[in-house]
Amino acid sequence: MKKSDVLIIGSGLGSLTSAVLLAKKGLKVRIIEQNWQAGGCTGSYWRKGYVFETGATTLVGLGKGLPLQYLLDQIGVEIEAKKLNLPMQVRLKNGSLLNRFEELEAWIAEAERVFGKVGQRQFWEECYSISQFVWKNSLSQLSFPPRKAKDFTKAIKSVSFEQLANLKNAFLSVESLLRKYNLHDNQPFCDFVNEQLLITAQNHKEEVNALFGATALCYTNYPNYYVNGGLINLVKPLIEFLTNHGGEIVFREEVSKIDSKGGSYVTSTQKADYESEFVISGIPFNNTLEVFQSDKVHSLKPKVLSSEQLNSAFQLGIGFIPHKEFDSIHHQIHLSEPLPEIGSASIFVSLNHPEDNSRTDEEGHAVMSVSTHIPDPANRVIDGQKVEGAIIDELIRQGFLLRENIKLVHSSSPGSWTKWTGRKWGFVGGYPQFKKIKPWQMLDARLDNHKAYQVGDTVYPGQGIPGVTLSGIIAVEKMELDWDI
């Protein structure tokens, strides 16, 4: 039986974060990955002359006090990333073009131009203030959510008046912020807010609390970056660090069972059994429940979300010849009519950076990734050709494509996501925010109150590259508190 100090299931960014931090401490770390490459929903792949992203296309979290920067600083790794001048453009249903400027004053002026001056400045100043609080405190409360006496002790030692003052925002929804500034009847603005929240919070204004919602709405007011060659080049340096520090990643093995045995864990795949002192699950909690044999882990089942509460995605990868220059590489298009089969009200478009020639085999070609939400993926059968056709027609209508310049189109639906990532029902984007689930009620990193832990986008703090990175940091912090590693 192969042995290690830590066995990690899955190689998404939450897993890799914990892996490199533990390897730095001198622990022997082994990752089991069911796919042929690392990264999970943060990665890239080549197909017929083009390099497409597997999932995530936006990169936030670099900069002082942010989780990804903290991780890279801890392990002494630098990422070559281009800072985007304009993080995103949004095309509204009425045809208006909205520039999501990073600088707050420029963004407020743009919001007032498009949606009117009533309440905009006050709304966005409060949202930005909340988001600054969230990021400032994200790395100072690594025992959150508290479950053990040690967590509470550490949390109390670092608690501040600012944290207590912002506690109210966990009980308020984004909808309540809109009402506070008389914006709840501004329907174009409410539609805009709802579609923007879907990008990072996976839900709408009535359900997303103000703490997470304000942070989600303001992610374009922080530096956004692009990595040449795709986000796989964010993953590769972490794998290199892991292997250089005695770690290992095993590909093409899927975990079928995890048992406790004599104080250790035995993790079984179709090819081998692995023994370890610690286990970290980097697969979604829905999948974790299916492989753990522990009653303590299964006692957490009430916290699992059903397919009806989750989203998968329909994604298009398009290789094309651009017929014009674009002001931004990221665009959200709000649709005048919902997409057939799935009912989505918007699509998200990401292009390769114009200075990045490494993602196409032919000079002058470009890559486009298009994604949209599919609710309740377990109970939905869709005609992918209809969805694909409607999206391409919309991209042509909006001036992103010329039909004769399209060189390659391939699509992914929930079944594709299940095959690629192994995620149950092919759901992506993590657990959506719900008003009834307060931040301290979210899943904790501890699975069995022993030496099994959970990371990724189904535990606190949730979605996105910053969120899953923070989940990996928190898991290691709690391992240190529990076992003084």
Give the tokens for residue 437: 């689930």
Across 35-77, where does the E strand assignment appear?
Answer: 44-47, 50-53, 59-60
- According to the model, what pLDDT value does residue 349 have? 97
How does strand 44-47 pair with strand 82-83? unpaired
- According to the model, what pLDDT value does residue 137 have? 87
Could you give the 3-state DSSP secondary structure of residue 249? strand
- Provide the 10 A C-beta neighbour count for residue 165: 10
Phi and psi at 75, nearest 5°, equal -105, 0
Residue spans of the chain under pLDDT 50 = none
What is the tens place of the pLDDT at every residue in 155-178? 888 788 788 888 899 999 999 999
Cβ–Cβ < 8 Å for 13, 394: no
Q: What pTM does this model have?
A: 0.96
Among 427, 441, 463, smallest CA distance to 213 is for: 463
Q: Is the dihedral of CA 220, 224, 226, 232 positive or negative?
A: negative
Give the tokens for residue 446: 């501890």
What is the tens place of the pLDDT at every residue in 308-320? 999 999 999 999 9
- According to the model, what pLDDT value does residue 420 have? 84
Domain topology for 2-42+228-305+431-483 = FAD/NAD(P)-binding domain (3.50.50)
- According to the model, what pLDDT value does residue 27 have? 98
- According to the model, what pLDDT value does residue 131 have? 96
Query: Residue 175 and residue 163: Cα distance in Å, rounded?
Result: 22
- According to the model, what pLDDT value does residue 1 have? 86
Rg (CA), the chain: 22
How does strand 346-351 pair with strand 366-375? antiparallel
- According to the model, what pLDDT value does residue 454 have? 98
Query: Residue 265 and residue 255: Cα distance in Å, rounded?
Result: 13
- According to the model, what pLDDT value does residue 127 have? 98
- According to the model, what pLDDT value does residue 100 have? 98
Q: Which residues contact 106 (CB under 8 A, 6 or more apart)?
A: none
**Mean pLDDT for the chain overall:** 95
- According to the model, what pLDDT value does residue 394 have? 98
- According to the model, what pLDDT value does residue 261 have? 87
Q: How is residue 363 annotated by DSSP?
A: T
Query: Residue 411 and residue 371: Cα distance in Å, rounded?
Result: 10
Distance of CA 466 to the CA centre of its chain: 7
Among 283, 255, 242, 261, smallest CA distance to 450 is for: 261
